[in-house]
Structure formats: structure tokens, C-alpha cells
């Protein structure tokens, strides 16, 4: 079993080395992302291990299949960067859906707390020995209304946290979770109109692409705070910039960005950035952007590595693969076969 590990970082190696070596799986770490120019490096391997900004679109999936690669191992929960239709019945796609919902929800909370209470600005002020607090008047979260879009594993934790703070939590989900007691499910429009803060936790799909756009922003409360730790393209960046300019949006906390592939995880501090919208976003005092790091806790990294190895083992043994992404099931939202403990194909 030989795995080629694209887009490898030092923190990945610490955790993956241990789990892969224990199971005597061979691994080659490379820093390059998977894309058309690098897919040739996968020849001769049984599996590719990829992350959020690796590209496994249809043409790349075809090439991997041609090389005899049997598994695309996503070391992340989202799978919008893999063409699951092209992969269907040709190559297994396995992900790590539940590695640490708390890790992401707590980061969403950190963004909300910083943007809401302006602590990111206080940090730079006091480090400059400027102890003036003018401009930092904020709102309590207690007693306000939060709107959660997507109440799966991460959204549910976020809903419980915000409910614990004393917020009323409204939620919208295509497939509501009846077990989740901390939320009241409403139509998406009601959520947009009533929420003081909105946190996005749905996957990026054709349906959720630009869910936050000029039309939906027009429905928001004045002074709303938006938090996105899900995927960048759920927000239409141009529309959100207009929303910030008009002051409709009072705060924006982003861990993801529509065009992040080009920039995130790289040090570009010596460059003049070409992306005018990214530069614009970074110029606002009420925008806090982190570089897709919500997953980055020790607990999450440990589970990502162990779950990925479990995925390989399940696939090699022909046993049930609970973490397989299947084109047909994902489009239906549930799978009768999988619920009975069988693989889809």
C-alpha cells in the first residue's frame, strides 16, 4: 500500500507518520498541491491523500483512474474539490467527516468573539502602548438571535455553544436534525431577517454556492455579523464587500475565502497581492480573516490521521466504509444501503 500525500505540511507529518508506519503503509510526502500539472506524480501509487485546496476535478480523477490509483483519501470533511460523479464506481473517495466538530465550531466562536468585541483591534492597539478604547463599543451576544445555516456535526456544536451563551438560535437545514434541541428550525428567509449573527456550516454545493449574495444580504438585519468557517464560495465576495460598505454588515469573520486556493497556506508577505477583493477585505477594521485553520487543533490532527488510516484499512479489507463519499447518496442526502451497513458499490 503506497500513499502519495499532496500538499504536505510539517504538522501533517507528525501525526500521519505514526499512524501510517504502525500499519506499514508506505508514504511519500510532497509539498505540491494536486492539480493538472502534478497529477503525474501519483503514477505507481495506490492512493492519493489530499486536502481542501487540492484539485480532484473530473480530468484529474480520470488520470488517477488511468494510473490505477484506487483511493482518494480526503484528510478533511468537505469534498467539494472532488468530482464525485466522475469518481463514481471507478475510484473510492473517503473523507474524515467527524474528526472534531468542536475544533471548527470553537474557531467560529473565536472569530465571532473577536469581531464582535473588536479584540483583534485591541490586540494591536495595546501592543503599540495605545490604551485608548475609543471605537470599541460592542454588543452583548446574550439575549440576541443567532442563525445557523447547516446543522450537521459542526453546526450542531455551534448551536449548542451559542445557546449556552444565552442566544436564541434559529436554524436552517435542508435536512433538519430532530435531535437538536438548542435550535428552532425556520425557513431560510426568516433566519436571514431575524438573526443578529449568522454562522455558515453547510457544505459547498451548487445549491449553497453564493447563498449569501446581494439579494440575501438585502434581507439581513442592519448591523449583522457573518461568520464563515465552511467554504469560501458560499459567500459572494463582491456582494459582501458592498454589504460592508453600506454598513449593513457590521462584522465579518472568515476562515475561508472564495479564491483561497491561490493564497491560503502560503507565505505571500513579500508580494503585492493581485486579488483586489482579498486586499479590500483585509482593509476593513471589522473583518477578521484566518487562513483556513479552524481544523488545526492537536485533537483534530490526531483524529484526521487515525480516521484516514481506518479508511484505508476498511477499503483494503472490503469491509463497510462509513466514510465513503458516494455521488448518488450525497445527492439524495441519505442512503438506504449505507444505513444498513453496506457499501454503495
Residues of the shown chain interacting with ligand NAD in the complex, contacts defined by CB under 6 A: 77-78, 97, 101, 104, 149-155, 172-175, 201-205, 207-208, 229-231, 255-256, 292, 294-295
- State the nearest-atom distance from the C-beta of 227 to ligand NAD, in Å: 11
Rg (CA), the chain: 21
- State the nearest-atom distance from the C-beta of 100 to ligand NAD, in Å: 8
Selecting among 106, 258, 260, 324, the annotated active-site residue is: 260
Closest residue to ligand NAD using C-beta atoms: 152
What CA–CA distance (Å, rounded) separates 327 from 344? 10
What CA–CA distance (Å, rounded) separates 267 from 184? 42
Measured from the CB atom, the residue of 56 and 202 that comes closer to ligand NAD is 202
Q: Rounded to 10 degrees, what is the CA torsion of 275, 278, 282, 284?
A: 110
- State the nearest-atom distance from the C-beta of 37 to ligand NAD, in Å: 25
Helices (H), the chain: 10-22, 58-66, 84-87, 101-117, 119-127, 153-165, 188-194, 214-219, 237-245, 276-283, 298-317, 327-332, 336-339
- State the nearest-atom distance from the C-beta of 187 to ligand NAD, in Å: 11
62-66 long-range contacts, CB within 8 A, separation 24+: 62/86, 63/39, 64/39, 64/91, 65/90, 65/91
**Cell numbers at 299, concatenated:** 485533537
Percentage helix, strand, coil for the chain under 3-state DSSP, each rounded to 5:
40, 15, 45
Measured from the CB atom, the residue of 97 and 116 that comes closer to ligand NAD is 97
Active-site residue, 292 included: yes
Name the packing angle between helices 276-283 and 237-245 (round to 10°). Answer: 30
Measured from the CB atom, the residue of 42 and 155 that comes closer to ligand NAD is 155
Selecting among 292, 298, 299, 324, the annotated active-site residue is: 292
Active-site residue, 260 included: yes
What is the SS3 assignment for 178-190? CCCCCCEECCHHH
Measured from the CB atom, the residue of 70 and 152 that comes closer to ligand NAD is 152
Measured from the CB atom, the residue of 103 and 145 that comes closer to ligand NAD is 103
- State the nearest-atom distance from the C-beta of 204 to ligand NAD, in Å: 6
Residue the block writes with cell 501510517: 20
Selecting among 75, 95, 107, 231, the annotated active-site residue is: 231
Q: Any idea which residues carry the catalytic annotation?
A: 231, 260, 292
Amino acid at each position: 500500500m503506497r500513499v502519495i500525500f499532496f500538499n504536505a505540511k510539517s504538522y501533517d507529518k507528525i501525526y500521519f507518520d505514526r499512524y501510517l508506519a504502525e500499519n506499514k503503509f508506505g508514504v511519500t510526502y510532497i509539498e505540491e498541491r494536486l492539480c493538472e500539472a502534478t497529477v503525474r506524480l501519483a503514477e505507481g501509487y495506490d492512493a492519493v491523500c489530499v486536502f481542501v485546496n487540492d484539485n480532484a476535478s473530473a480530468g484529474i480523477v480520470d488520470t488517477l483512474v488511468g494510473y490505477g490509483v484506487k483511493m482518494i483519501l480526503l484528510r478533511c470533511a468537505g469534498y467539494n474539490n472532488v468530482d464525485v460523479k466522475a469518481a463514481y464506481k471507478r475510484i473510492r473517495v473517503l473523507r474524515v467527516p467527524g474528526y472534531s466538530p468542536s475544533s471548527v465550531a470553537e474557531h467560529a466562536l473565536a472569530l465571532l468573539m473577536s469581531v464582535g468585541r473588536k479584540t483583534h483591534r485591541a490586540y494591536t492597539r495595546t501592543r503599540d502602548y495605545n490604551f485608548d478604547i475609543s471605537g470599541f463599543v460592542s454588543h452583548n451576544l446574550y439575549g440576541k438571535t443567532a442563525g445557523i445555516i447547516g446543522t450537521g456535526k459542526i453546526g450542531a456544536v455551534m448551536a449548542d455553544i451559542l445557546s449556552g451563551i444565552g442566544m436564541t438560535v434559529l436554524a436552517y437545514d435542508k435536512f433538519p436534525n430532530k435531535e437538536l434541541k438548542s435550535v428552532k428550525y425556520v425557513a431560510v428567509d426568516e433566519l436571514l431577517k431575524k438573526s443578529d449573527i449568522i454562522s455558515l456550516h453547510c457544505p459547498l454545493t451548487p445549491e449553497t454556492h453564493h447563498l449569501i449574495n446581494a439579494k440575501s444580504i438585502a434581507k439581513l438585519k442592519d448591523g449583522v455579523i457573518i461568520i464563515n468557517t465552511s467554504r469560501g464560495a458560499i459567500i459572494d465576495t463582491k456582494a459582501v464587500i458592498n454589504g460592508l460598505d453600506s454598513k449593513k454588515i457590521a462584522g465579518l469573520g472568515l476562515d475561508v475565502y472564495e479564491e483561497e486556493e491561490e493564497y491560503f497556506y502560503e507565505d505571500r508577505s513579500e508580494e503585492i497581492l493581485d486579488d483586489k477583493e482579498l486586499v479590500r477585505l483585509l482593509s476593513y477594521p471589522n473583518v477578521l480573516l484566518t487562513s483556513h485553520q479552524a481544523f488545526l487543533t492537536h485533537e483534530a490532527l490526531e483524529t484526521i490521521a487515525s480516521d484516514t488510516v481506518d479508511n484505508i484499512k476498511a477499503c483494503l479489507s472490503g469491509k463497510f466504509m462509513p466514510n465513503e463519499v458516494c455521488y448518488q447518496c450525497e445527492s439524495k442526502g441519505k442512503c438506504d444501503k449505507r444505513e444498513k451497513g453496506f457499501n454503495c458499490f
